[in-house]
Amino acid sequence: MENGAAQPVIVAIDGPSGTGKSSTSKAVAAQLGLSYLDTGAQYRAITWWMVTNGIDIDDPSAIAAVAGKPEIVSGTDPSAPAITVDGVDVSGPIRTHDVTSKVSAVSAVAEVRARITELQRSIAVGAARGIVVEGRDIGTTVLPDADLKIFLTATPEARAARRSGELRGVDVHSTREALLKRDAADSSRKTSPLAKAGDAVEVDTTDLTLSQVVECVVTLVEEKRAAK
Ligand SMILES: Nc1ncnc2c1ncn2[C@@H]1O[C@H](COP(=O)(O)OP(=O)(O)OP(=O)(O)O)[C@@H](O)[C@H]1O
Ligand SMILES: Nc1ccn([C@@H]2O[C@H](COP(=O)(O)O)[C@@H](O)[C@H]2O)c(=O)n1
């Protein structure tokens, strides 16, 4: 840019559960002064609304019929991610085991994905300095023209150990099974499944610390910016 200001940069970070997408994305966005969007939180929020309103999660047509009703508002500050549904702060309730066990069924419904994808694109376009968007289909479907696409991976054992450390007291074996079940559902749905974009850079985080992953992604973003 002529005035020396950095051009907005769009970074898509995808990958299976527990690979470090949220931790990495928040840290990268904070370090580079970018906005941050947690798209999993949006699918969790719409799932919370369905559960709260007594919608049958096993009935895709019932979910589709009301997919347009909840008003979901996502904050984009990486140091204080916020999410509301119809004005209610749901940042705590969307992390319950109940919502986690139901979110893949709700996110598989095409009408839900169309609604949330539109919301995600409008947030990305509005981010003046650029944004880090994390999820499952950001590089493939939501923002196929992103400046940089990252696909994070880690072994199921590493991911389960990280998660059960987070949810103190929950055993690693059942955590591993739950992660793999959610990955299988997210990868096999018809509409916009979890997948690595052809032009994404894969980063295996199994033997890397969070700081090392963040440093790696920051370097890749800076290289992209320099080449723009
Ligand atoms: N490289 C790493 N090394 C060790 N622990 C990590 C690493 N990256 C993330 N973690 C930890 O692993 C846990 C899961 O990370 P995080 O929530 O960022 O993953 P995620 O991919 O966003 O998961 P999900 O898709 O299920 O929301 C957190 O406790 C986080 O602190
Ligand atoms: N782009 C995305 C992001 C998430 N999902 C669905 O939401 C679930 C929760 O995601 P977390 O990252 O918060 O664990 C996830 O299991 C998917 O079902 C999605 O479909 N697309």
Confidence (pLDDT) at 4:
47
Q: Which ligand is closest to the CA of 47, given by its number?
A: 2
Quote the DSSP letter at residue 32. Answer: H
What's the total number of domains in the chain? Answer: 1
Q: Give pTM, 2 decimals.
A: 0.96
Residue 184 in any domain: the answer is yes
Q: Is 224 annotated as a binding residue?
A: no
Confidence (pLDDT) at 71:
98
Residue 102 in any domain: the answer is yes
The arithmetic mean of pLDDT across residues 19-28, rounded, is 98
The pLDDT tens digits of the residues spanning 53-90 come to 999 999 999 999 999 999 999 999 999 989 999 999 99
- Ligand 1 atom nearest residue 159's Cα: 12
Residue 3 in any domain: the answer is no
If you measure from the C-alpha of residue 214 to the centroid of ligand 1, how many angstroms do you get, rounded to a whole number?
A: 12
- Ligand 1 atom nearest residue 210's Cα: 1
Q: Is 23 annotated as a binding residue?
A: yes
* Residue 148, strand partner residues: 11
Confidence (pLDDT) at 164:
80
The pLDDT tens digits of the residues spanning 141-161 come to 999 999 999 999 999 999 999
If you measure from the C-alpha of residue 208 to the centroid of ligand 1, how many angstroms do you get, rounded to a whole number?
A: 12
Q: What is the CATH number of the domain that holds 206?
A: 3.40.50.300
Residue 170 in any domain: the answer is yes
Residue 38 in any domain: the answer is yes
If you measure from the C-alpha of residue 53 to the centroid of ligand 1, how many angstroms do you get, rounded to a whole number?
A: 30
The arithmetic mean of pLDDT across residues 22-39, rounded, is 98
* Residue 13, strand partner residues: 134, 150
Q: Is 228 annotated as a binding residue?
A: no
Q: How confident is the model at residue 1 (pLDDT cuts 50, 70, 90)?
A: very low
Structural domain including 65 reads 9-222
The pLDDT tens digits of the residues spanning 162-206 come to 988 776 667 889 999 999 999 999 999 999 999 999 999 999 999
Give the residue among 24, 27, 131, 10 at the shortest CA–CA distance from 79: 27
Residue 66 in any domain: the answer is yes
- Where does the chain show beta strands of DSSP type E? 9-14, 35-38, 72-74, 83-85, 88-89, 130-135, 148-153, 201-204
Q: How confident is the model at residue 120 (pLDDT cuts 50, 70, 90)?
A: very high
If you measure from the C-alpha of residue 159 to the centroid of ligand 2, how many angstroms do you get, rounded to a whole number?
A: 16
Residue 228 in any domain: the answer is no
Residue 4 in any domain: the answer is no
Asked whether the beta carbons of 214 and 31 are under 8 A apart, the reply is: yes
